[in-house]
Structure 1
Amino acid sequence: MRHDLCIEATVPFKNQEGNQCPRSVEEVAIRSIILHTVAAVGYKVDSKLLVDWLKDQQIWECVSPLEKTWFATKEITDEDRSPLCWRVEAEWTLLWAISKVQSLGLPTQTCDTATLVDDIMPTLGDPIAAFIASSKLRSPGALLVEDDRVYNLHCYARQAFKTNTVPDDLIYDVLVQRHYAFEWLHSRDEWDDIRLDT
């Protein structure tokens, strides 16, 4: 996939400056945990166990109103599960932002869910304090250049859909979730209120 954009796994940002991220590292870490549980609902993990864990860790109030409806829904259709499962890609993006993932690369493959579950995220029921404490927000420059790349790729992808020239290797849902995560990261909007402009 080439659009005169950097196609390296890690975008260079040596001399790039960016505005300070309005989100704290703790906010980003907590949001990644919440997205982890939302995706788990999509993969048919018992909602009650997830909600109990979020409440026990005292972050239930950080769950968005729409997410709370998904946790409360008894019967979720396969069609409705799909968007929940894709939230793992937004989670992966935020994990990159707090230095838990080395690089995002291009949106041509899905995230490594085995590594995510086994090596990165706290286990369901375990305390989250150590995960949050070990998180480190990347520099404003690093966040800016990756955000710009994702935004520009999304713009190009939307144009490509109009001319039926979408690259074969693009996974559009990955790109959308990354864009959503970056929009939230660089705004003060609530998670449910994010809009993707391209």
Structure 2
Amino acid sequence: MLAARITRIEERLAQHGINNYQIAYPEYLNFDHQLFATPREVGCRVMILLAIAYTIQDNSKKFGIVNWLRNEHIWSYVSEKEAIYLNGGIVSDDTLTALCWRIEAAYILAWSLNLVRDRPVPGQELSEEQISELIDSLPALGDKLGDFLDRLYFRNPEEIYDENIFYELTTTHYRDNLFAGRRSTADVHVPASFERHLALNWLRRFMNVRDWDLTDTSTL
């Protein structure tokens, strides 16, 4: 079983131009899904990320979004950096740039909850069709969230974990090339790939970290 999973991950990497990474230790794919964030926590994070994406398009909507998140009792799931941004505080250019890419994190988390059908394509950022599918699968911003959050469930945890490992290895590939001064020719969209890696690390509580702002994407 582990051997088949290793083969699938390595073949997928090779399909996208990453041929020099192998999973040498099958134990690397062992995991405990009970350590994952709960489906409800993931659902809250998806809604928060979608709301932030909306405010980046229209900055005047922040006040209404904050009130809605509070009224739906999910403000406690908003990270410290997100709260500063939503409350109108000054954020760094790096933070603002990161927030602009959060729709990629929202999509992969929605995929983990079976809310969208297909996992994202590694070599591309989300298409307009995928973003529309994501939005259509979620309550509208401002709607009640209780029933939606209560009925969420994960797809096969093995799929989620293996997707995380795939993106962990794409991050490893790009960092290795960066440090070596080489240009990667892999068919992987770097900013989107990083967001997917980050989101799945948060979901599986990589390094036992639960805080979104502190979630790490360190690689070996």
SS at match of 1:152: helix
Separation of aligned partners in 1, 2:52 and 2:105: 11
| Bigger relative contact order, structure 1 or 2 (CA pairs below 8 A, ≥6 apart) | 1
In the alignment, the residues of structure 1 paired with residue 30 and residue 80 of structure 2 have an alpha-carbon distance, to the nearest angstrom, of 35
Specify the alignment match of 1:157 in structure 2: 174
Cα displacement string for residues 44-100 of structure 1 (whole angstroms, at most 9, x for unaligned residues): 251011111101111111111111000012677987543212011111111011111
Matched, 1:182 2:182: no
1:11 matched residue in structure 2: none
Q: In the TM superposition, what whole-angstrom CA distance separates every residue of 1:116-152 from its partner, at most 9, and x where no partner exists?
A: 22x1121111111232234221222112211111111
| 2:53 and 2:102 in contact (8 A); partners too | yes
Instruction: Check the 8 A contact 1:25/1:136 in 2, yes or no.
Output: yes
* TM-score between both structures, scaled by the size of structure 1: 0.83
Report which of the two structures shows the higher radius of gyration computed on alpha carbons.
2
Structure 1: which 5+ runs fail to align?
A: 9-15
Query: Greater helix share, 1 or 2?
Result: 2
The two structures have a TM-score, normalised by structure 2, of: 0.75
Which residues of structure 2 form unaligned runs of 5+? 1-8, 16-28
Going from structure 1 to structure 2, the CA distance change for 1:150 and 1:77 (only over 3 Å counts) comes to: closer
Range with bigger deviation, 37-46 or 146-155:
37-46
Match in the other structure for 1:66: 81
Residue 97 (str. 1) matches residue 112 (str. 2): yes
Once residues 79 and 151 of structure 1 are traced to their aligned partners in structure 2, the CA distance between those partners, rounded to angstroms, is 21
- Letter matched to residue 39 of structure 2: V
Distance in 1 separating the partners of 2:191 and 2:53: 14
Q: Percent identity?
A: 24
* Partner amino acid, structure 2, of 1:182: L
Number of matched residues? 188
Partner of 1:120: 137
Structure 1 range deviating more: 67-76 or 185-194: 67-76
